[in-house]
Amino acid sequence: MSALKAAVIGSGNIGTDLLVKMVRGSGAVTAAAMIGIDPASDGLARAARLSVPTSADGVAGLIALDGFDGIDVVFDATSAGAHHRNAAALAPYGKRLIDLTPAAIGPYVVPSVNLDAHLGAPNLNMVTCGGQATVPVVAAVSAVTPVAYAEIVASIASRSAGPGTRANIDEFTGTTARALEQVGGAGRGKAIIVLNPAEPPLLMRDTVHCVTGDCDTDAVADAVRAKAAEVAAYVPGYRLKQEPQFRRLAAGDPLAELAGLVGSGGVLVSVFLEVEGAGHHLPGYAGNLDIMTSAALRTAERLAAVEGSAS
């Protein structure tokens, strides 16, 4: 497998954690540049200590770097608005982009669900932290039985929600809801995010509710367990908090009506998740950030494997 050379745009917490993961990783993806806009940022200082080329001039600084031509993939860990500008600036150079913002220029990618279907796309969108945690569960349920409606609640520690996360709340809910439908297979999706101010900070928690028709609950539970294990292979802190729960919905139940079900009312499938960060750069409670960087790195590693086998 040939190593990919990667640049990171965004020297904040997410970009720095991604940089550290590449340095500590398998060698399939190597850090070729760290780009920011604040010369005094901790991320740029960390990169310099690791002998990774840096620039504080944003995407223009990346383009001007020696070795830019040899960069295979660019991770964008900025914000949705900045990614639109960065993607436009990089478009003439044919660089593969992995987008960790909710800009969603390219297709939604959740590694355990649909990565191989989009390996040829020039811009891969990693949805959101809530999407990476919950879309696999919805996809697991919909693989067994149609999901008429899916609703998720992502609760993250307020201290792990930086300026970029807070600026993108609207994009988070919209992007996550669409991913529940387009990738997870739900007929309708809804996403809610909670910034939990508790001290000490709590781990990321996600609640997934799926409304289905009559279904084989044992098969659904097996599918959810298997998918959780698949995600945990690249996000070790990802786990089910308890066994999937099932509740029969009576005809006329508001949830059944919301999902458009008639007759028996259907079944409510509830799954409760927890995501603990790996502690590479961020604290353990920042599982919402860790799952994004882990998913992005897994995507790049898969690209490296495919391109290596083709060469």
Is 27 annotated in a binding site? The answer is no
Asked if 167 and 193 touch (Cβ cutoff 8 Å), the reply is no
**Cis peptide preceding 244, ω within 30 of 0:** no
- Residue 56 token pair: 């504080």
Is 159 annotated in a binding site? The answer is no
Is 164 annotated in a binding site? The answer is yes
Is 166 annotated in a binding site? The answer is yes
Q: Tell me the CB-side half-sphere exposure of residue 39, using CA atoms within 13 A.
A: 2
| Rounded Cα distance, 281 and 52, in Å | 16
Is 175 annotated in a binding site? The answer is no
Is 12 annotated in a binding site? The answer is yes
Is 123 annotated in a binding site? The answer is no
Is 88 annotated in a binding site? The answer is no
| Rounded Cα distance, 265 and 259, in Å | 9
| DSSP 8-state symbol, 108 | B
Helices and strands: H and E segment counts in the chain: 11, 12
Is 168 annotated in a binding site? The answer is yes
| Rounded Cα distance, 239 and 272, in Å | 9
Is 196 annotated in a binding site? The answer is no
| Rounded Cα distance, 306 and 48, in Å | 30
Is 131 annotated in a binding site? The answer is no
Is 161 annotated in a binding site? The answer is yes
One-character DSSP codes across 239-271: EESS--EEEEPPTT-HHHHHTT--TT--EEEEE
For 119-196, strand residue ranges (E) read 123-125, 147-157, 188-196
Residues annotated as catalytic (active site), given as ranges: 129
Is 128 annotated in a binding site? The answer is no
| Rounded Cα distance, 208 and 191, in Å | 9
Comparing C-alpha atoms, which of 216, 205, 215 is closest to residue 271?
205
* Residues of each annotated binding site: 11-14, 160-168, 288
* Residues of each annotated binding site for NAD(+): 11-14, 160-168, 288
